[in-house]
Amino acid sequence: MLSEYTQTEFTHEGKTKPVYVRGHGPAVIVIHEIPGITPEVVRFADWVVEAGFRVYMPLLVGKAGAPLSTGYVLKSVATICISREFHVLASHSSSPVTDWLRGLLRHAHAEAGGKGVGTIGMCFSGNFALSMMMEPALLAPVLCQPSMPLPIGAERKSALHVSPAEFQCVKDRCAKGDKVLGLRFKGDVMSPPGKFEVLRRELGDAFEGIELDDDAANPDSFGGQAHSVVTNDLIDKDGEPTKEAAKRVISFFVERLLVP
């Protein structure tokens, strides 16, 4: 499924990671979920390309293009739990990998041009979009089923995995007219409702939170739990809530990056 993507590498402060690039237009960084760049993540990225954007898809963990399996998920979870680039239990600080992602964002903006960049983080990477708002070029941040810090304990269930300085930047930008989009299933225990409650309270109308009923998820998806809104649990049929949610993400990119 990645045959139409160009595999490149990006290095920032001595750290090099693969990045899969396709399309023309303003840059959108698609940050995969656990376990990696699965076929379902590529399908969503393809839709973004078709809407007129240049997708940059970094590989943070796993093997690009490999399908979901229980063993693959467990291996990727173990990797992020022990890697120094991810702080999975940090409530009030971001993962170090977000610094590399901000470097990629600057590179993508310089290469693709346009008035700004969009990004979507999913699951473990969901809240990375908030940290990346430290870069002025990020105009369209999307949080899809944000799950970090892992929801162990009451505090972590509503924590946003960003530092106070990063979140103050988010609030300042939203007060001046910037927007944040979020998506989750209502019963998703990995992405508890407390996170969206904090975002609504702190960002007001600048935060658009889409919360879907669990029975809108694909009943045949991997895992049997409603979680991955625009990828694994999406029903690829117009009119389905998950497909309409994916369309809303793309229209958000269009509004923020393409509309004069």
CATH code: domain of residue 99: 3.40.50.1820
Question: Which one, of 144, 160, 159, 168, lies nearest residue 253 by Cα?
Answer: 144
* The pLDDT of residue 147 is above 90: yes
3-state secondary structure of 183: strand
> Between 164-175 and 193-203, two packed helices, what is the crossing angle to 10 degrees?
50
> For residue 50, what are the domain limits?
6-257
Q: What is the pLDDT of residues 49-96, one digit of tens each?
A: 999 999 999 999 999 999 999 999 999 999 999 999 999 999 999 999
Alpha helices (runs of H) in the chain, residue ranges in sequence order: 39-50, 70-82, 97-112, 128-131, 154-158, 164-175, 193-203, 241-257
Taking only the tens place, the pLDDT of each residue in 13-37 is 999 999 999 999 999 999 999 999 9
Give the pLDDT band of residue 224 (cuts 50, 70, 90).
confident
Nearest to 94 by CA among 144, 134, 58: 134
Mean pLDDT, range 214-234, rounded to an integer: 93
State whether residue 12 is helix, strand or coil: strand
- Residue 170 included in any domain: yes
Which residue in this structure is represented by tokens 């467990």?
74
Q: What is the pLDDT of residue 222?
A: 85
* CA dihedral of 197, 229, 25, 19, whole degrees rounded to 10: 100
Q: How many domains are contained in the chain?
A: 1
Q: What is the mean pLDDT of residues 130-152?
A: 97
| Dihedral pair phi/psi, residue 152, rounded to 5° | -105, 105
Q: Is residue 108 part of a domain?
A: yes
Mean pLDDT of the chain: 96
Q: What is the mean pLDDT of residues 169-183?
A: 98
* Amino acid (1-letter code) at residue 110: A
Residue 49 lies in a domain: yes
In a domain, 56, yes or no: yes
Does residue 122 belong to any structural domain of this protein? yes
Report residue 130: phi and psi, to 5°. Answer: -65, -45
Q: What is the pLDDT of residue 6?
A: 98
> Which of the four pLDDT bands, split at 50, 70 and 90, describes residue 223?
confident
The pLDDT assigned to 204 comes to 97
Does residue 1 form part of some domain?
no
The residues near 74 (Cβ < 8 Å, ≥ 6 apart) are none
| Cα–Cα distance measured from residue 188 to residue 186, given in angstroms and rounded to the nearest whole number | 6
> Is the confidence at residue 189, as pLDDT, over 90?
yes
pLDDT at 260 > cutoff 90: no
Tell me the per-residue pLDDT of 119-129, one tens digit each, with 9 for 90 and over.
Answer: 999 999 999 99
Instruction: Answer yes or no: is 238 within a domain.
Output: yes
Whether 174 maps to a domain, the answer reads yes
Q: Are strands 207-212 and 6-12 parallel, antiparallel or unpaired?
A: unpaired
